[in-house]
Chain A
Amino acid sequence: MNLLAEYWRRGRDSDIWYSFTRNKLVMASAAITLLFFLGAYGAPLLAPHNPFDLASLNLSDGFKPPAWEEGGEPKFLLGTDDQGRDILSTIMYGSRTSLSVGFLAVVFAMTLGIALGLLAGYMGGAVDAFIMRVADVQLSFPAILIAMLVDGVTRGLLGADQHSKAAIYVLIVSIGLSYWVQYARTVRGQVLVEKNKEYVQAARVIGLPGPLIALRHVLPNVLGPVLVIATINLALAVITEATLSFLGVGLPPTQPSLGTLINTGQQFLLSGEWWITIFPGAALAILVLSVNLLGDWLRDALNPKLR
């Protein structure tokens, strides 16, 4: 208990907490991000309807406008889509998928990038040159293109049926593969600085094996900037996922993410049912904007030198 109080006191006195409470915009975006996580992961408990329970759907509820428009019903706050699914509930379930894919993709990219960056920085020589050359070539292509290529290639390898079953994993891997370069470069740069410091030399003198030094001693010292990149990348990964799903090469309509919802809603835009696509779109925009603002703030608060 004492320990907890101690941590609390230390957290409250820290620079980060100070700069957090000083910035209303950041506090608002933190609150919104938190709200999204709550709504997304609490969806089965909090959502007013379960849009994937076929028994509870009624086709005669289809195309209901939002509650405040003429013809809307209070039980469907943001209206319904063509199959009578409540838009608010599909947004909550959709955000869960979007956030999960984004988060796992960032973890995958981070793991891959850290591993390769550590290897390149610590080994040096030909390994370093090879990894960094691959990184350079990949960096000259936009991430979304890489992700689409990986997706198309897996589709070719697995066949369409298998692919749509494994879609969520394929998506995580393809987004992860398109964002590892930034981590690898940052980690490598940090490792090059760290590995000549005295504590590494000391570890070498007492005879520790190379991999152990790299993992136990160097790695913890290069993680700071990596975590900052990861926050900013979460927004990017969510955008990439939404874009791919919107284009029809991401998640199938049976596992809708925000992008899939926007895509299926788009066909109704021209006939006037705007709420089916505009609300998921607004949800995506607000989510990305608040995560971006948080990431920017974290970067400035943790390390002013990174700017």
Chain B
Amino acid sequence: MIAFIVRRLVQAALVMLAVAFVSFAMFNFIGDPVANIVGQDTPADQIVELRKALGVDDPMPVRFGRFVVNAMQGKFGLSYRTTEPVGRMIADRLPATLELSLVAAIFALAAGIPMGVFAGLYPNSWLSRMMMTVSLIGISLPTFLIGILLIYIFAVILGILPSFGRGETIKFGFWSTGLLTVSGLKAIILPAITLGLFQLTLIMRLVRSEMMEVLRTDYIKFARARGLSNRAVHFGHALKNTLVPVITITGLQLGAIIAFAIITETVFSWPGVGLLFLQSVVYADIPVMSTYLVMIGFVFVVINLIVDMLYFVVDPRLRTQGRTSGGK
């Protein structure tokens, strides 16, 4: 198991290095960072000073080394658009995105697993059939369209939920949360549903097909033969055995949720990292784009690692096998 973890860590480090290089290359070879900061009437000696301060004329390996060292300390340079430090801009907006993603993920799991279990246990009931049809439509609808529809129904026609923003927030040190105020809680409902709906359908379909497969196995028949209650068979034996793929997909989808937050945040004007990234794409604000890339890369790598570790917790069979990579 230790060998497995070490190998995964090395892999993760390599992926991070590759992502860092791409982001560094974007940072350095596209546009002139100095020209992007100074105005037309900036005196020439100031430009020279700035070039020196930014170190844009050093050899490439030196600059890459500096980039990595700075990135590890959270220093990512200045935004071309606002000339603020990028690290701080992102840190300011990170809580909004993380809260939204977390609520969306909890929504997807809390609704998706029971629905999937039900659809797996009673595949022929009309409710299951309806859920499957609706989920097919849910998969086909683009995220932003779902957001617009929800805004139209709940904010325009019914007028019960806000259509944009985060509501009131409370600050705890650097973390600002909207989950403790009424307006904040109301504001998160629509974006979280929009963001989590695709994952919900995915998890539901996955749990359903896994349940149907597990219910056919011999150990379920044996459990029934022992006279265990339906509840014990369904939840203690069947559901537990569907969890490995569910964890894999949920873990990988958590990354996708954070990335798809770009779209949801735009639709709902949610002041998070995704909105910041979109603005930086529109303005070709390369420092912010490359920082976002590094950040998302880091999140994905960490999630992948955690998912791999979780296999060992959930599936005892893997602990004895040692060298297999586990899962599906």
The answer, yes or no, to whether B256 is at the interface (CB within 8 Å) is yes
> Given that A145-B259, A152-B289, A239-B142 are contacting pairs, would A249 and B278 also be in contact in the complex, using a CB cutoff of 8 Å?
yes
Q: Are A262 and B148 in contact (CB under 8 A)?
A: yes
Q: Do B15 and A140 touch across chains, with their CB atoms under 8 A apart?
A: yes
Distance of A38 Cα from B297 Cα, bound (Å): 43
Instruction: Identify whether the interface residues of B are mostly helix, strand, loop, or mixed.
Output: helix
B145 x A284 contact (CB < 8 A): yes
Q: Judge whether A243 and B30 touch: CB under 8 Å.
A: no
Chain A interface: which of B58-66, B173-181, B260-268? B260-268
CA distance A284 to B141 in the complex (A): 8
A153 touches B26 (CB 8 A): yes
Asked whether A65 is an interface residue with its Cβ less than 8 Å from the other chain, the reply is no
Q: Is B311 an interface residue (CB 8 A)?
A: no
Q: Is the CB of A144 within 8 A of B144?
A: no
- Write the chain A residue with the least CB distance to B25: A153
* A277 at interface, CB cutoff 8 A: yes
User: Which of B18, B143, B152 is in CB contact (< 8 Å) with A243?
Assistant: B143
- Whether A274 sits at the interface, judged by CB under 8 Å, is yes
Interface size, chain A (Cβ < 8 Å):
37
Q: Nearest Cβ distance between residue A185 and chain B, in whole angstroms?
A: 16
Residues from 281 to 300 in A contacting B, C-beta threshold 8 Å? 281, 284-285, 288-289, 292
Whether the Cβ atoms of B31 and A249 lie closer than 8 Å is: no
Partner pick for B30 among A153, A235, A246, CB 8 A cutoff? A153
- CB distance B140 to A235 under 8 Å? yes
Whole-angstrom distance between the Cβ of B32 and the nearest chain A Cβ? 10
Specify the chain A residue showing the minimal Cβ separation from B290: A149
Closest to A246 in B: B144
Bound CA–CA A270/B18 (angstroms): 44
Q: Is B76 an interface residue (CB 8 A)?
A: no
Instruction: Indicate if B304 sits at the interface (CB-CB under 8 A).
Output: yes
The answer to whether B144 and A155 touch across the interface, beta carbons within 8 angstroms, is: no
Contact call B149/A281, Cβ cutoff below 8 A: yes
Say whether, besides A156-B30, A281-B148, A284-B145, A144 and B262 are in contact (CB < 8 Å).
yes
**Least Cβ–Cβ distance between B280 and chain A, in angstroms:** 7
- Complex alpha-carbon distance, A284 and B140, angstroms: 10
Chain B contacts with A in 140-190, Cβ cutoff 8 A: 140-145, 148-149, 151-152, 155-156, 163
B side interface size, CB within 8 A: 44
Query: Is B145 a contact of A262 with CB atoms below 8 Å?
Result: yes
* Binary contact track B284-317/A, C-beta < 8 Å → 1, others 0: 1010010001001100110010000000000000
User: A281: which B residues are within 8 A, CB to CB?
Assistant: 145, 148-149
Q: Is the CB of B140 within 8 A of A285?
A: yes
Contact B156 A274 (CB under 8 A): yes
Q: Is B72 an interface residue (CB 8 A)?
A: no
Tell yes or no: B281 within 8 A of A by CB.
yes
Cβ contact within 8 Å between B148 and A288: no
Partner of A269, one of B145, B151, B284, B304: B151
What CA separation (Å) do A141 and B86 show in the bound complex?
A: 22
- Bound: A141/B292 CA distance, A: 12
Q: B282 interface residue, CB < 8 Å from A?
A: yes
Q: How far is the CA of A105 from the CA of B266 in the complex (A)?
A: 24
Complex CA distance for A148 and B266, rounded to whole angstroms:
14
Q: Is A306 an interface residue (CB 8 A)?
A: no
- Answer yes or no: B137 CB below 8 A from chain A CBs: yes
Docked pose: A283 CA to B318 CA in angstroms: 48
Docked complex: A115-151 residues within 8 A CB-CB of B: 137, 140-142, 144-145, 148-149, 151
Q: Which residues of A contact B31 (CB under 8 A)?
A: 156-157
Residues in B with CB closer than 8 Å to A144 are 259-260, 262-263
Is the beta-carbon distance between B293 and A149 smaller than 8 angstroms? yes
Say yes or no: is B37 at the interface (Cβ < 8 Å to chain A). Answer: no
- Cα(A156)–Cα(B152), bound, Å: 36
Neighbouring A residues of B256 by C-beta, 8 Å: 142
The complex places the Cα of A246 from the Cα of B143 at a distance, in Å, of: 11
| CB-based contact A278/B262 at 8 Å | no
Rank and list the top 9 A-B pairs by shortest CB-CB distance, nearest first: A152-B281, A156-B284, A156-B30, A155-B284, A289-B140, A142-B259, A239-B142, A156-B31, A145-B259
Given contacts A142-B255, A145-B262, A284-B142, 18 further A-B contacts (CB under 8 A): A141-B300, A142-B260, A144-B260, A153-B26, A153-B289, A243-B263, A246-B142, A246-B263, A262-B145, A266-B148, A269-B148, A269-B152, A270-B156, A270-B163, A274-B156, A285-B142, A285-B145, A288-B140
Q: Identify 26 residue pairs between A and B in the complex whose beta-carbon atoms are under 8 Å apart, listed by A's number.
A: A137-B15, A137-B18, A140-B15, A141-B300, A142-B259, A144-B259, A152-B286, A156-B26, A156-B30, A243-B142, A247-B262, A249-B278, A249-B281, A266-B148, A270-B156, A270-B163, A274-B156, A277-B148, A278-B148, A278-B152, A284-B145, A285-B140, A285-B141, A288-B142, A289-B136, A289-B140
